[in-house]
Structure 1
Amino acid sequence: MHAALSEPATTGPPELDRSTADVVLIVDDVPDNLSVLHDALDESGYTVLVATNGESALLRAAQALPDIVLLDAVMPGMDGFEVARRLKAQPETAHIPIVFMTGLTDTEHVVAAFQAGGVDYVTKPIRAREVLARIAVHMQGARQARQARNALDAFGHATLAIRVSDSRLVWQTPLARKLLHDYFEALAGPPEAPQVPAQLLTWVQAQAALAEQGGIPTPLTLVNGARQLVLTLQERTSDEDWLIVMREVSDTAIVDAMMSSFKLTLREAEVLYWVVKGKTNRDIGDILGSSPATVKKHLEHVYTKLGVETRTAAAGVATSRVAQLVRR
């Protein structure tokens, strides 16, 4: 059996073994409801997490990233509709299917559940067999989507979706999240509504407009030391979100070879790498976040260590030496 985990602690995310069971988060302020659902789900082989209010539900979802959320619509304080909206506004949790639990069967409340991001609803009093059947259907779709995202990451193709109409990052794969932080400044805006980095949004808007006119989108290339990130606009989904694939190209092996062969520091090796690529001191400064004067000083050290006097000679020595290493 997979025991329920208690309310989230502040010391860090819980450790979950996803290899043997799917994870369900139940959010309800009524202990009897939690008990009935927990027992039924646990007996069916699910790992069960619980939260008794909206705030703890958001924290638990962000920590554990459950495969599905069973969400009570009416709770004191933050109600289920607001919890759902906030989960859907966060790229990390936007993909998680939400099944509402409600005693409110009026049309307006059902519509509100779907507008808040729910994929389904069950009515109270809860019937465990019905809940299990609904979960099984939505879990299969969620599992397939998760496998697809993980497969993209496994092949080095990080993926994210951006909604141009409101400049929102809708969802992203784990690798995409890492690359965004590596190449862009931290996302701006309040936690419940993260914004797309300005440079990325400007590029997406321009390329989306071009694609809609029948043109061919142009990739965006960003540079970070000897690493380069290439972003490609793919297509628009049925939800009007644009898919972007990010692929990192790294020449760190060459930089490492230069450091080892010529006894250079990392920054000196990076400067030499870009000299070989034909970049000026100003270009290299822009790439590495340094001034042209600092680049010039690094280059002087490189000349001394390579025993040359010009950038052309330095590039020639470096190219020849790296070629020898590659052939070995």
Structure 2
Amino acid sequence: MTERLPDRSLSDVVLIVDDVPDNLSLLHDALDEAGYTVLVAVNGESALQRAIQADPDIVLLDAVMPGMDGFEVARRLKAQPGTSHIPIIFMTGLTETEHVVAAFQAGGIDYVTKPIRPQEVLARMVVHMQSARQARQARNALDAFGHATMAIHVTGQVENSRAVWQTALARELMQRYFDAPPAHVPAELAAWLQAQSQLAAEGREPTSLSVVRGERQLVFSLQQRTSDDDWLIVMREVSDAAAVDAVLQAFRLTLREAEVLYWVAKGKTNRDIGDILGSSPATVKKHLEHVFEKLGVETRNAAASLAIQKVRALAPWHGG
């Protein structure tokens, strides 16, 4: 029999994971009285199953359990795109520094120490659930508009960087270009982000990253830095080789000039084009001046109009 999913329109859903019945009972009663829908799990395996099925708003996770401990549960939840967004508060009697560090490294957002004080847990939950709800709404909006966006947590070690969340389109593109697991950040992408950190520290403009696969390329642009170590990036796929070649042939331009004219005709600014081609806006402007001279025009609109007229007969033109 399939377990009925909780109705989150009625209340927020909390998953408590603990192998000690007294702890479960204490928290369950306090959360139920506070108006939450409460789910429980007594081991790591059932915790993963319930989190995947119910998509709780937050997880209260015991760190030390027989079998699969809380650290491994957290790592697995954060590695799955369907559960990586769920905030995790660890519950632990282990207050030594290495255990606290392990909790955060595993993906925890906070921790409380045992013996559990329900009112403290409730207060911490409210803060983290509000932030998670706002983040979820933002992700849903990006998905609705078809944006390929992801947030990446960058650490000192490139190999330890991980995707905090990503929209469905971003997940699809990462799989297609890198064949990467959901939370994995390829080395070249992590290295590029670390380079952006250095540029930001020096007060310099960020650069873009282009990853080429055959005639297609995926362009990464830095959107903003959401915290000291979290970066929000946008990616877009470029697969317009035929149209660019048609522009090149029609006007006897260089390849880079043809690329610039193509993107001008699609309404992109010099900064946009620089991001796509991995050039500075000043370099794009210089290429565009050469294009104007070769086409015998003086404005962007005139160049774009001429390009569209000439190319429409030679290659499929996809507006955008």
1:27 and 1:57 in contact (8 A); partners too: yes
2:162 aligned with 1:169: yes
Give the residue type in structure 2 aligned to 1:58.
L
2:189 paired residue among 197, 200, 207: 200
Question: Counterpart of 1:241?
Answer: 230
In 2, distance between residues paired with 1:22 and 1:140? 11
1:184 paired residue among 177, 180, 184: 177
In 2, distance between residues paired with 1:108 and 1:204? 28
Q: CA RMSD in A?
A: 4.4
Given the two structures, how large is their TM-score scaled by the length of structure 2? 0.60
1:183 and 1:224 in contact (8 A); partners too: no
1:163 and 1:242 in contact (8 A); partners too: yes
2:140 aligned with 1:144: no
Question: Counterpart of 1:132?
Answer: 122
Secondary structure of the 2:313 match is helix
Given the two structures, how large is their TM-score scaled by the length of structure 1? 0.59
Question: Counterpart of 2:16?
Answer: 26
1:58 paired residue among 31, 48, 67: 48
Q: Report the number of matched residues.
A: 257
2:77 and 2:83 in contact (8 A); partners too: yes
2:115 aligned with 1:119: no
Shift in CA distance, 118/226, structure 1 to aligned 2, threshold 3 Å: same
- Residue 232 of structure 1 and its aligned partner are, at CA, apart by 0.6
In 1, distance between residues paired with 2:317 and 2:109? 56
In 2, distance between residues paired with 1:166 and 1:78? 27
Give the residue type in structure 2 aligned to 1:178.
R
1:187 and 1:195 in contact (8 A); partners too: yes
Matches within 5 A, 1:67-86: 67-86=57-76
In 2, distance between residues paired with 1:133 and 1:241? 25
Q: Which runs of 5+ in 2 are unaligned?
A: 250-254, 256-309
In 2, distance between residues paired with 1:227 and 1:108? 45
Secondary structure of the 1:149 match is helix
Matches within 5 A, 1:240-319: 240-247=229-236, 276=246, 278=248, 317-318=313-314
- Residue 183 of structure 1 and its aligned partner are, at CA, apart by 3.9
Give the residue type in structure 1 aligned to 2:151.
L
In 2, distance between residues paired with 1:218 and 1:106? 41
In 1, distance between residues paired with 2:136 and 2:173? 20
Secondary structure of the 1:184 match is helix
1:91 and 1:172 in contact (8 A); partners too: yes
2:166 aligned with 1:160: no
- Residue 169 of structure 1 and its aligned partner are, at CA, apart by 2.0
2:215 and 2:241 in contact (8 A); partners too: no
Secondary structure of the 1:131 match is helix
Q: Deviations over 1:178-210 (max 9, x none)?
A: 34345423215xx9xx53235534543444444
Question: Counterpart of 1:262?
Answer: none
2:177 and 2:213 in contact (8 A); partners too: no
Shift in CA distance, 233/271, structure 1 to aligned 2, threshold 3 Å: closer
2:209 aligned with 1:220: yes
Q: Deviations over 1:96-125 (max 9, x none)?
A: 33223334567775665456534131533x
1:156 and 1:247 in contact (8 A); partners too: no
1:73 and 1:102 in contact (8 A); partners too: yes
In 2, distance between residues paired with 1:223 and 1:278? 20
- Residue 146 of structure 1 and its aligned partner are, at CA, apart by 2.4
Secondary structure of the 2:178 match is coil
In 2, distance between residues paired with 1:202 and 1:277? 34
